[in-house]
Structure 1
């Protein structure tokens, strides 16, 4: 690990100012991803700005939204009474991720910013455009079983690893950030980037901007489910995950939200599939038809050609479980 300076900020402004003074600064909270990346030589930093003293740990319900501070621990959010009662999809997704020990350290803001777990990204002896732009992509013709089938480019096929982010995408969350130019809000759907020609850029944050909170609009959904398909029952990243939220009234689907994980470099919203479900009765046949539409445009490689079929089956299963059929 390279040498670095350490600064503990007491205010949001102080943290941003400290980050602005150095060309290579990283904010650190739980450090569950950042420290691994630094130890393995994937990332370096001249300065670490510790933000753990900032007043960003509150979960509060406002008139038409839930406000979640960026330093709220994943474990605290998953067990919060409001979240479990009104946003159980988020609680389910959080509890499906990582291990209890990591959830007790990882923060909401850090979860949003975590990097891909692609083995070629972590292996500094291998080419990786996300780690070193222009070096190539080892996964293209390598072991790509875990890799993306949507939104890919000829530069990168890595996937985003977060479970929490899949639920936030389905819930139309917004990300509140602060920076040298003030505060702004980024819609969850616009926060993470597809690789395109700049796979090294994971999100739309400015270099010295700091996530301060996540806000979720009030929801009227009646049925929820988070399904995670993985190689082992715990502490494993998703091959495919599905976040489903439905509003069912008089045996008709009034509204639907579906997002996928493990299939793209960002949580993958299925807007077309959602539209197909609206107005339909919640039956296995209707769920299957909608799920089959979801894989249009999928691009597979040698070892992940099974994923489209897994996506279809997983969506149908998640929908069925959400309505307990």
Structure 2
């Protein structure tokens, strides 16, 4: 005997899938007709296919509140940006500012740990390029059932010299325009008092959906422990964030992890242009020298990026 409730649930599920399928297909068919993305379709067909997948398009639609026209514009801008910026060619460079944690949150989301006080470059372009690398690496390591990550930002040792409106604005642009719906939550851990007025200045750069994902957490706040315990296994979490792990960050071991990941990414992207089906997974492309770019170049690149902004 048929269960009426099961039938209704199945019908509602099917109806919902049909509702989602229409705008996704509309975006995909529209973007395929745009001449502006012809080059990436020809030179990087796998890249184009990945960004025109149901999962990818749905992120762009969610970022634009399911407005097909705006999602198409945003996706087109991202494809053009990737074609020009070439994030797949960026390899790991030694730095302690951002790294992918060896643990995930309780939902299995990748965790990027950020320590602004460890910044070792004054070049905004270099900083942004490394952020792009970290985003690409985090996405590479996402589980099959995950599409978002957690940012854990440690403000220990943070000073006024670490504040930069320009780099913050560029970070917001990259996160929101090129990696929509990839951020699950950003935890600002123990930010100093002088950071709060700075955040009020830069908050307008954030879209409301992104701003709502930013959480201020303080170790001397009673609610902090509850927040962190709800998100993480405290036996795996670093002591800097209230966890029980005292082991310090080992950059040599991390370099080995990143070298392995770079080899995976080389294979992932390299198969598109390599005729040899048995491509050597240890092959790596040339490292981009981001430190050789002048401030004048940065301004030019920043201006060009903003012209392709899909918002």
Identify the TM-score tier after normalising by the shorter chain: under 0.3
- Greater strand content: 1
Q: Which has the higher contact order (CA 8 A, sep 6+)?
A: 2
Q: TM-score, normalized by length of structure 2? A: 0.26
Task: Name which one, 1 or 2, has greater alpha-carbon Rg.
Answer: 2
